[in-house]
Copies of this chain bind each other. A is one copy, B any other.
Amino acid sequence: MKIALAQLNYMVADFEGNLAKILVEIEKAKSQNVDILAFSELAICGYPPHDLLERREFIETCLEYVDNIATHCTDIAVVIGAPSINANNKGKRLYNSAFFLCEGKVQQVFNKTLLPTYDVFDEYRYFEPNSSFELLEYKGKKIAITICEDIWENQPVANPFLASRLYALVPMEQLAPLRPDFMINIAASPFSYVQAGTRKRILKQNAEKYHLDVFYVNQVGAHTELVFDGLSMAVNRNGELVAQAKQFEEDTLVFDTENLKGSPIDIDQKSDHIPLIYNALVLGIRDYFGKMNFTKAVLGLSGGIDSALVAALAVDALGAENVRGVLMPSQYSSDHSVTDAVDLANNLGMQYDIVPIKSVYNQFVSDLNPLFGNLPFNVAEENIQARVRGTLLMAVSNKFGNILLNTTNKSEAAVGYGTLYGDMNGGLAVLGDVYKTDVFKLCYFINRNGIRIPENTISKPPSAELRPNQKDSDSLPEYDILDGILFNYIELNRTPKEIESLGYASETVAKTIRLVNINEYKRFQAAPILRVSSKAFGFGRRMPLVAKY
C-alpha cells in the first residue's frame, strides 16, 4: 500500500487557501497511485485556531470544506484533521478529529484522546476527549489512526515537578490489541529547539513497543508565536527512520508499506540549536509578514547587537529591499553607535535614515518643567528617550506601512530591562525567546561566511545608552550568569534553592527571580514573541500580575 504524507503550511481560517493546497496534493498523489494521503491535525482550518473554535459558523465552514475535499477523494483515500461536533449533549461541543475520506464521502471519524492543556496548548478548552477505540480498515489493511499527543506517554514539559506525569489512558494500549498493521499519526507539533529529538524518541518508542510502522505528518509554518517545523517522517516497526521530510519547508513523502527499510535512530544525538533557532526565526518573520499580507519591515538600529541580529534575520526573511532601519542617536549615544549601525546597514544592503532625538527629547523636558521643576534626572527622562524612539518608529510604520520589528531579547524581557511604549514597541518580537548568550551565538552564525554584523557591535559591552556611560552590567549580573539562572527558573521551573545548589550566589538568584516576578506587568503588554524554546513568554506562560512576589 502506498502512503503519502503532505506537510503543508496552512493559514488559520484561510479555508480557500488551505483547500487549494490540499487539492494540489490530492491530484499529485493520485498521479502517483497513492492509496492513502495524510494531512496534519486541524489542517482544514490551520492550527491553532484558538477561540474561533467557539464560533458556530467557523465549525460549519470546517465541515463544509471537509465535504468538499471528500468529493475529490475518488481513486484515493485521505486522512485529514478537522474539528467535528460531539453529537451527545454532554461534555464539550467538539472533538479534535481525523476524517477518513474516500469514494467521495466522509467514511469514518477518529477523535483525539489526549488533549494537551499546558504551556501553549488549550485543547481541553474546546474538545471532548475520545473514549472509544477502533481501527480503520481499508484495502485489507488495519490502520491505527491517532492524533498528535495520542502517542505520547506523558506531558512533554521541561518542569521536573510536572514532567514525570503519565497519562491515565494511553490510546495505543487500547488500539494495539486490535492488531493494526501500521499507524498514521496526524500532528500539529510546534518547534522548540529540543522538540525534534523528543519527537523521534516518541515515534521510535511507539514503533518498537507496539511493533508497528508509524507514519507521522506534521504541519509547517508559523502562526504568530508558534513556529511549526515539519519533519514529518516514517519510523518502521524496528524503530528505524525510513525517511524524514524537510524541516521548516513544505514537503511531501511517499512510502510503500511493503518496503520500509530504515536506518537506526540515535535518540541521544545532540544537534547544535543555533542553526535551528536561526531557521525558526526566519520562518517566523516570513510567515508573519506573508500571512498578514505585509511586505516591509522597519526597526531601530542602535548599533547594538540585538537590533543588528534582528536586521540580519529580517533581511534573510524578507529581502534587504524590504527592511528599513532608523538610527536615532541621543546625547548619551556612544561614538560607535551610529558608525556601527551604518556599517551594519551597508553590510546588509538595507535602507537607513538618521533621526536624532535630541530636539524632541529637549522639548519634552522643557514642556514638563512646570511639573518636574528641579527634580533630578531619573528613569522618567531615560524612558522619554526610549518613547521618543518608539514614536518615531511607529510614525515611519504608519506612514509607509512597514511593520515594526521589536528587538528585545529574552534576558531583557525576563528582568524588565526595557521601556513599555518605547523599545518594547513592535508588531512581532523576534528575539523575545532568545537569551542574550544565544544572541551572541546567532551573530557568529550570521557571520559564518563573512562579516555581516560588524565585529564592534558584537564585542562592545551591551548598553541601553539612556544615561552617560551606562552599561547593562551596572544593574544586571553578567549575561552568562543571568541566563543560567533565568533558564533554570523559566524553562525548568526550578525552585530558588535548587538553582542556588547549581552554584549561583543566593543574592543573585533572589534578585534575578524578583526582577522576573515584578515585571509581569510589562510582559503582559509586550508584542507576540516567536517561540523557539520549551517555555516562552507569552500565552504559554500565564502568571498573575497582582500577586505577592
Residues of chain A at the chain B interface (Cβ within 8 Å): 11-15, 17, 46, 48-52, 54-57, 59, 89-93, 117-118, 122, 124-125, 159, 161-162, 164-168, 222-224, 287-288, 291-292, 353, 355-357, 359-360, 363-364, 366-368, 370-372, 375, 378-381, 383-384, 387-388, 390-392, 394-396, 398-399, 420-421, 425, 427, 493, 495-497, 521, 524-528, 539, 541-549
Determine whether the beta carbon of B124 is less than 8 Å from that of A546. Answer: no
Which of B223, B395, B526 meets A546, CB within 8 Å?
Answer: B223
Report the minimum CB–CB distance from A240 to chain B (whole Å). Answer: 31
The answer to whether B360 touches A52 (Cβ under 8 A) is no
B353 touches A370 (CB 8 A): yes
In the complex, what residue of chain B is closest to A225 when comparing beta carbons? B545
* A346 CB to nearest B CB, Å: 19
Inter-subunit contact A541/B51 (CB<8 Å): yes
**What B residues does A50 contact at CB under 8 A?**
542-544
A142 to chain B, nearest CB (A): 28
Nearest CB of chain B from residue A432's CB, rounded to whole Å: 13
Q: Is the CB of B398 within 8 A of A391?
A: no
Q: Is the CB of A161 within 8 A of B391?
A: no
Given contacts A13-B547, A360-B367, A525-B526, contact A399 B375 (CB under 8 A): yes
From known contacts A48-B544, A165-B90, A524-B528, infer whether A394 and B398 are also in contact, taking CB-CB under 8 Å: no
Across the interface, A547 reaches (CB within 8 A) one of B11, B162, B370, B372, namely B11
Q: Which residues of B contact A375 (CB under 8 A)?
A: 399
A145 and B11 CA atoms in complex are apart in Å by 47
Q: How far is the CB of A394 from chain B (nearest CB, A)?
A: 6
Judge whether A391 and B388 touch: CB under 8 Å: yes
What 9 A-B pairs come out closest when comparing CB atoms?
A: A14-B548, A380-B398, A12-B547, A380-B399, A421-B421, A124-B124, A56-B161, A387-B391, A57-B495
Whether B384 pairs with A495 at a CB distance below 8 angstroms is no
Q: Is the CB of B392 within 8 A of A368?
A: yes
Identify A542's interface contact among B51, B356, B496, CB under 8 A.
Answer: B51
| A224–B388 alpha-carbon span in the complex (Å) | 29
A177: min CB distance to chain B, Å: 20
In Å, the complex CA distance between A464 and B216 comes to 54
Bound together, the chains give a CA A526 to CA B54 distance in angstroms of 23
A232 smallest CB distance to B (angstroms): 22
B495 touches A56 (CB 8 A): yes
Looking across the interface, which residue of chain B has its beta carbon closest to that of A56? Answer: B161
CA distance A291 to B521 in the complex (A): 14
Contacts of A380 in B (CB 8 A): 395-396, 398-399
In Å, the complex CA distance between A372 and B399 comes to 8
B367 touching A355, Cβ below 8 Å? yes
- Whether the Cβ atoms of B371 and A394 lie closer than 8 Å is no
Q: Which residues of B contact A525 (CB under 8 A)?
A: 525-527
Cβ of A528: which chain B residues have Cβ within 8 Å of it?
524, 545
Question: Which residues of chain B are near A291, meaning CB under 8 Å?
Answer: 546
* CA gap between A392 and B51 in the complex, in Å: 37
Known: A89-B164, A546-B288. Is A54-B159 also a contact (CB below 8 A)?
yes
In whole angstroms, how far apart are the Cα atoms of A51 and B119 in the complex? Answer: 9
Q: Judge whether A371 and B353 touch: CB under 8 Å.
A: yes
